[in-house]
């Protein structure tokens, strides 16, 4: 009797920042093209930063190497093609119009370059992708509200969600709540970075003031058992990025990471790569570590993939096709 070939695990992610997906090789090539000296943030083929604040600065420096819609199309196509080669069927890309504005490209050309990259990758590989517009918290409430307004009026069918990323320690969620009201009124899905750099209070604020269906990270909720129960009862999906948490020193190693405890407590979780080359990871590596280091079974990993698709900001017909 012939044994059936084992089907490789399908993967999906709903939390990856587009500039954060730029490999050092691509960044170096962009720097060569524009004559930018990168020695203070890119050395020996790796990004250079030591803590979260320095990471955010490094991120902005790398973002500034992408200056045209064609640059963004190339970046997006490269990232999605690599994902598809690792059997990924769906990705939600976090994009920040502010980064397009900052380089003088403008938000519309920024977005259209990213859409072109999605189109090309989809045509080549079949991978589905959607776009989450984000405000960067450290750019201030005015910019985050402007990002929400931009997303709300975009009418772009690939723009399906709104997020807030950036420096979690800056201000309180209340300062930014209006941005989420605008995005909610426009029918966009809502997610927000919380509970990574800051503790449970940041998750409580996010739940109370934003009412998101998902949280970016949210892992530090584990420090508050009542909050864990609230997340379980609400069915809030945590976009967990273990490699990011280790790289940023939130936990000393994968054995101390709370993914297993959250899953065990009935909280809905999925695996994501966040800013893969910055954190020396990839979605494939996140899946491998969940299996080989954290001890998740194939069935549990498949459940996390299904959770990502169930929580995706995508139309029902596409969701049903992917599930
Ligand atoms: N975390 C928070 N903010 C960000 C990130 C991140 O990984 N990437 C870009 N902005
Ligand atoms: Zn993130």
Q: In sequence order, what DSSP letters do the residues of 195-232 get, joined into one string? A: SSSS-HHHHHHHHHHH--SEEEE-GGGGG-HHHHHHHH
| Interval between CA 59 and ligand 1 midpoint (Å) | 8
Question: What's the total number of domains in the chain?
Answer: 1
Question: What are 192's two structure tokens?
Answer: 């927000």
* Mean pLDDT, rounded, for 45-58: 97
Counting ligands in written order, which one lies closest to the CA of residue 56? 1
The closest of 11, 38, 69 to 286, measured between CA atoms, is 11
State percent of the chain over pLDDT 90: 97
Model confidence at 8, pLDDT cuts 50, 70, 90, reads: confident
The ligand 1 atom nearest the CA atom of 193: 2
pLDDT digits over 289-298, tens only? 999 999 999 9
On whether residue 284 sits in a domain, the answer given is yes
The closest of 148, 15, 175, 25 to 91, measured between CA atoms, is 15
On whether residue 296 sits in a domain, the answer given is yes
Tell the residue nearest (CA) to atom 2 of ligand 1: 166
CA angle 222, 225, 229 (to 5 degrees): 100
Global ipTM: 0.94
On whether residue 4 sits in a domain, the answer given is no
Residue 187 is part of which domain span?
A: 11-322
Residues whose CB is less than 8 angstroms from the CB of residue 247 and which lie 6 or more positions away in sequence, other chains included: 278, 279, 280, 281
On whether residue 6 sits in a domain, the answer given is no
| CA separation for the pair 256, 233 (Å, rounded) | 25
Phi/psi of residue 12, nearest 5 degrees: -150, 150
State residue 1's pLDDT score: 43
On whether residue 1 sits in a domain, the answer given is no
Q: What is the pTM of this model?
A: 0.97
| CA separation for the pair 4, 53 (Å, rounded) | 49
Instruction: Establish whether residue 99 lines the binding site of ligand 1, counting it when its CB lies within 6 angstroms of any ligand atom.
Output: no
Report the CATH number that the domain containing residue 202 is assigned in CATH: 3.20.20.140
On whether residue 3 sits in a domain, the answer given is no
Instruction: Establish whether residue 274 lines the binding site of ligand 1, counting it when its CB lies within 6 angstroms of any ligand atom.
Output: yes
Ligand 1 site-directed mutation target among 274, 277, 279, most atoms within 8 Å of CB:
274
The closest of 260, 262, 254 to 280, measured between CA atoms, is 254
The ligand 1 atom nearest the CA atom of 134: 10
| CA separation for the pair 127, 145 (Å, rounded) | 31
| Interval between CA 216 and ligand 2 midpoint (Å) | 6
CB atoms within 10 A of CB 43: 11
On whether residue 211 sits in a domain, the answer given is yes
């Amino acid at each position: 009797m012939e044994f059936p070939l084992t089907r490789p695990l399908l993967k999906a992610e709903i939390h990856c920042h587009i500039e954060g997906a730029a490999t050092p090789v691509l960044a170096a090539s962009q720097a060569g093209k524009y004559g930018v000296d990168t020695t203070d943030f890119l050395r020996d083929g790796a990004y250079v930063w030591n803590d979260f604040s320095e990471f955010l600065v490094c991120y902005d420096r790398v973002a500034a190497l992408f200056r045209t819609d064609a640059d963004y199309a190339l970046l997006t196509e490269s990232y999605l093609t690599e994902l598809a080669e690792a059997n990924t069927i769906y990705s939600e890309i976090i994009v920040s119009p502010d980064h397009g504005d900052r380089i003088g490209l403008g938000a519309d050309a920024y977005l259209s370059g990213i859409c072109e990259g999605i189109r090309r990758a989809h045509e080549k590989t079949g991978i589905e992708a959607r776009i989450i517009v984000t405000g960067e918290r450290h750019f201030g409430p005015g910019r985050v509200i402007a990002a929400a307004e931009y997303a709300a009026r975009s009418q772009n069918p690939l723009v399906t969600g709104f997020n807030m990323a950036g420096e979690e320690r800056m201000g309180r969620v209340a300062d930014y709540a209006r941005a989420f009201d605008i995005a909610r009124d426009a029918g966009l899905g809502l997610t927000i970075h919380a509970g990574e750099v800051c503790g449970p209070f940041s998750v409580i604020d996010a739940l109370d003031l934003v009412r998101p269906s998902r949280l970016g990270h949210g892992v530090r909720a584990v420090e508050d058992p009542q909050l864990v129960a609230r997340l379980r009862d609400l069915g809030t999906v945590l976009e967990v990025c273990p490699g990011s948490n280790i790289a940023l020193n939130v936990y000393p190693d994968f054995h101390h990471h709370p993914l297993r405890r959250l899953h065990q407590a009935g909280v809905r979780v999925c695996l994501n790569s966040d800013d893969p080359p910055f954190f020396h990871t990839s979605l494939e590596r996140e899946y491998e570590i969940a299996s080989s280091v954290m001890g998740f079974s194939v069935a549990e990993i498949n459940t996390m993939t299904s959770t990502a698709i169930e929580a995706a900001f995508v139309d029902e017909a596409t969701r049903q096709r992917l599930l």
